């Protein structure tokens, strides 16, 4: 059985997609069977993978939005066997037809049809709390809140946590509260005093329900942007960089999480359903 992780933040541009593709590639290197599901209609998973950029311009490609729209389609048909990992893409064409959908259990029903083939399923999400993100949260075993050090991003995490905690649909609020939550810091600049102070103050975030802080911190590095243009995840393109070693450590943490049912943070450990 797969360990299902949703990568979330209310804010865009904080490295959710970069984290998704590098964690997925890192897990693949550990011989995990990995599926990425892109619930963001921007379709940036494919945009960041060499040779698959055209998916965002193809109105006929089978996307997760198309599966949301028509439950008779076999989700196995939407899986693309990528060079680094398998994925179900998304784009704006199919997304527009999902407007008006509200059933937050659709993604779980889709995943239930494919999860027997995978050890790890990673769900990338859009930077808003809509139908897609709620579906991702509902279907995941563990939530990874990804943030950079900006006030807007950290506030995004805080808002997301407090709003979901009191979500109008009580079922969702309880599910969110009970799900294991972790926080990953990206764009880290270790020499910056503000970053050091912020990390110290967030270290005790478990107490306020934001989840445990992961021990990995992803540094800011221009190569990551270049790798996006080249369409190769940084763990593959530049394996010796600190960004790659931190993402590989994150993959180790997730490998361990599936095997042992625990995610090890910087100070705390959180239990997750065993993926075995
Ligand atoms: N560690 C990093 N260092 C420098 N740039 C990064 C890093 N991680 C991501 N980026 C860049 O930041 C931008 C936003 O990242 P992305 O993963 O698309 O964010 P999101 O999915 O949260 O919107 C991209 O251009 C990406 O290449
Ligand atoms: Mg993204």
> DSSP letters along 34-74, please?
EEEEE--TT-HHHHTSTT-GGGGG-TTS--HHHHHH-TTS-
Q: Which domains does the chain have, with CATH numbers?
A: 3-271 (3.40.50.300)
pLDDT of residue 43: 95
- Asked if 52 contacts 82 with a C-beta cutoff of 8 angstroms, the reply is yes
Pocket test for ligand 1, best of 16, 17, 18, 48 (most atoms within 8 A of CB): 18
Residue 207 has pLDDT above 70, yes or no: no
Share of the chain above pLDDT 90, in %: 74
Pick the atom of ligand 1 nearest to 225's CA.
Answer: 27
- Asked if 144 contacts 59 with a C-beta cutoff of 8 angstroms, the reply is no
Pocket test for ligand 1, best of 13, 144, 149, 226 (most atoms within 8 A of CB): 13
Q: What is the pLDDT of residues 254-276, one digit of tens each?
A: 999 999 999 999 888 999 988 76
Q: Using CA atoms, how far apart are residues 254 and 163, in angstroms rounded to an integer?
A: 27
Beta bridge partners of 137: none
For ligand 1, the distance from its centroid to the CA atom of residue 97, given in whole angstroms, is 28
Pick the atom of ligand 1 nearest to 146's CA.
Answer: 22
- Asked if 188 contacts 218 with a C-beta cutoff of 8 angstroms, the reply is yes
Q: Using CA atoms, how far apart are residues 162 and 144, in angstroms rounded to an integer?
A: 16
For ligand 1, the distance from its centroid to the CA atom of residue 18, given in whole angstroms, is 6
Q: What is the pTM of this model?
A: 0.96
As a whole number, mean pLDDT of residues 154-181 equals 88
């Amino acid at each position: 059985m797969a360990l299902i992780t949703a990568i979330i933040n209310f804010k865009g541009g904080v490295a959710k997609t970069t984290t998704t593709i590098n964690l997925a590639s890192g897990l693949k290197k550990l011989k995990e069977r990995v599926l990425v599901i892109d619930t963001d209609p921007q379709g940036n998973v494919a945009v960041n993978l060499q040779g698959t950029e055209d998916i965002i311009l193809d109105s006929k490609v089978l996307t997760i939005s198309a599966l949301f729209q028509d439950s008779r389609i076999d989700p196995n048909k939407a899986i693309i066997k990528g060079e680094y990992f398998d994925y179900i893409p998304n784009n704006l064409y199919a997304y527009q037809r999902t407007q008006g959908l509200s059933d937050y259990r659709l993604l779980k029903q889709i995943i239930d049809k494919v999860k027997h083939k995978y050890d790890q399923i990673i769900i990338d999400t859009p930077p808003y709390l809509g139908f897609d993100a709620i579906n991702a949260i509902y279907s995941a075993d563990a939530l990874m809140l990804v943030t950079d050090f900006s006030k807007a991003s950290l506030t995004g995490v805080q808002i997301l946590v407090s709003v979901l905690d009191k979500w109008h649909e009580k079922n969702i609020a309880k599910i969110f509260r009970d799900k294991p939550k972790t926080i990953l810091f990206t764009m880290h600049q270790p020499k910056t005093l503000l970053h050091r102070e912020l990390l110290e103050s967030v270290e005790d975030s478990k107490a306020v329900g934001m989840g445990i802080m992961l021990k990995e911190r992803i540094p800011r590095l221009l190569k990551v942007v270049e790798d996006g243009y080249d369409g190769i995840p940084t763990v593959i393109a530049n394996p010796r960089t600190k960004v790659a070693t931190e993402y590989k450590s994150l993959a180790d943490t997730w490998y361990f999480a599936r095997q042992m049912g625990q995610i090890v943070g910087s100070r705390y450990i959180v239990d997750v359903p065993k993926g075995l």
